[in-house]
Structure 1
């Protein structure tokens, strides 16, 4: 981060939990596309680029998500996480339980159409956000 003004560091003065923190992050976000990367996750250097290419290729999508890889302590990929499933999105069904919990990008404008992340949630914060955003996607 250092001298790179694209990065800003914010600190909570009180630990209000994951839901409140992620909700606050959206308030600080200035870009069109948002994503969270949890501290125990890593992404390939080309992950953001691939995601943005999908938005540029198809401007009707509301979110992208990645395949999750299990890695060793040196971040060397070991195997694909077998429970990752493709999302089938229509007005009657979301695959449930949602079986991905890794790199998920979304359009900020779509997020702002929802009630946002529930700041009271202590778990399932990401799943709550996925469902709210995907409700606005094309079936």
Structure 2
């Protein structure tokens, strides 16, 4: 197994995020690597196509603040020191690729929901991260907390 030096965990702040963070923490500990976490917020203009003549900057700032608080809450649940917590705005795969390059990360860890059929054709964030990264990517199979899957 390759010895990783800097791992970035891309967290979507869903109920499954602790599973991804736990796997990234285990790897960082096993490799004696530093661990950073990142969450990417898509700009509200992406969702509304920029066609609305409304200033959404205050709402965007509130979303970013809430994400920072939730990311910090998640990282407090691990006993490994987190090097940095990043909340970025943009397209998730693009921002994670850029961050990994900027930080010199050699592994990105993301969650994968194991989509099938039509949902797989539409793509997923984990698939996009894997196909454009200049470093290794680990897609952690996550299960919904209420599910009996492991």
Structure 2 length as normaliser, TM-score?
0.24
Structure that is richer in helix per residue: 2
TM-score (norm 1): 0.25
Which structure carries more strand by proportion? Answer: 2
